[in-house]
């Protein structure tokens, strides 16, 4: 990690011209996540779609080099899976879902190409703000029901021991000028979760994210 930080600082120093003019833009963003839940402790992989909203401070140190510092107030990483099984001659479906959301801090290195396309990469730190699991078991064999009646049973519970989320994110965006000081900015990224969702459980989340922001130039 120390070597990566040193290399980043060297690239920044070499790329920063002496006559560079610092620029700053503020950019509210919102969009969608496509989440993939994976891990050897999960019965099977799951997937889900979640909502995201927050804001970026878009800093430019030179024509090409910049930094996106973001606060994401709500970043939903929910997912679910459905399985079929049988026990004692009775078949059933097992639908399991997890409702997870984080408050996240982003620090993304930004490299802008001549065509208004930019690339981003960097770490993301997330703090859990929502964690609930739900399971629904539905009997599919005709003539069978649960002791209390009905063919379906649902249960919910809080997900305990969630961890601070650490993710590496990379992707690209495109700045579409509307006026001299306002740009519309679509951005697509991939986030690789490095930490487990729950302590001592091999369960990670990978996320494809698509957001749109409106950048207002301040400096």
Tell me how far apart the alpha carbons of residues 171 and 191 are, in angstroms, rounded to a whole number: 9
Q: What is the pLDDT of residues 183-203, one digit of tens each?
A: 999 999 999 999 999 999 999
- 196 close to 163: Cβ distance less than 8 angstroms: yes
pLDDT interval class at 176 (50, 70, 90): very high
Return d(Cα 96, Cα 93) in angstroms, integer: 10
Residue 5 has pLDDT above 80, yes or no: no
pLDDT in tens, 75-101: 999 999 998 988 888 999 999 999 999
* Residue spans per domain, the chain: 20-217
Per-residue pLDDT band at 144 (split at 50, 70, 90)? confident
What is this structure's pTM? 0.85
- Residue 113 DSSP symbol: -
Model pLDDT for residues 35-64, shown as the tens digit of each residue: 999 999 998 999 999 999 999 999 999 989
Q: Are 15 and 62 in contact (CB under 8 A)?
A: yes
Cβ–Cβ < 8 Å for 143, 151: no
Nearest in space to 26 (alpha carbons), one of 174, 185, 169: 185
Topology of 20-217 in CATH? Porin (2.40.160)
Q: Are strands 165-174 and 90-112 parallel, antiparallel or unpaired?
A: unpaired
Mean pLDDT of the chain, nearest integer = 91
Provide the β-strand partners of residue 71: 55, 105
- The pLDDT score that the predictor gives to residue 4 is 47
């Amino acid at each position: 990690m120390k070597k990566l930080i040193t290399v980043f600082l060297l690239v920044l120093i070499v790329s920063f011209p002496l006559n560079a003019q610092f620029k700053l833009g503020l950019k509210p963003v919102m969009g969608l996540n496509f989440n993939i839940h994976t891990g050897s402790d999960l019965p099977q992989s799951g997937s889900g779609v979640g909502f995201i909203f927050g804001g970026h401070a878009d800093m430019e140190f030179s024509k090409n080099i910049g930094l996106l510092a973001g606060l994401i107030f709500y970043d939903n990483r929910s997912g679910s899976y459905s399985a079929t099984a049988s026990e004692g001659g009775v078949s059933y479906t097992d639908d399991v879902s997890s409702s997870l959301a984080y408050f996240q801090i982003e620090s993304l290195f930004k490299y802008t190409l001549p065509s208004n396309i930019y690339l981003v990469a960097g770490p993301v730190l997330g703090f859990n703000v929502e964690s609930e699991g739900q399971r629904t078991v539905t009997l599919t064999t005709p003539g069978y029901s649960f002791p209390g009646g009905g063919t379906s049973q649902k249960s919910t519970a809080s997900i305990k021991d969630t961890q601070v989320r650490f993710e590496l994110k990379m992707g690209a965006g495109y700045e579409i000028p509307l006026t001299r000081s306002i740009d519309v900015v679509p951005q697509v990224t991939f986030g690789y979760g490095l930490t487990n969702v729950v302590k001592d459980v091999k369960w990670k989340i990978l996320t494809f994210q698509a957001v749109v922001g409106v950048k207002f130039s301040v400096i």
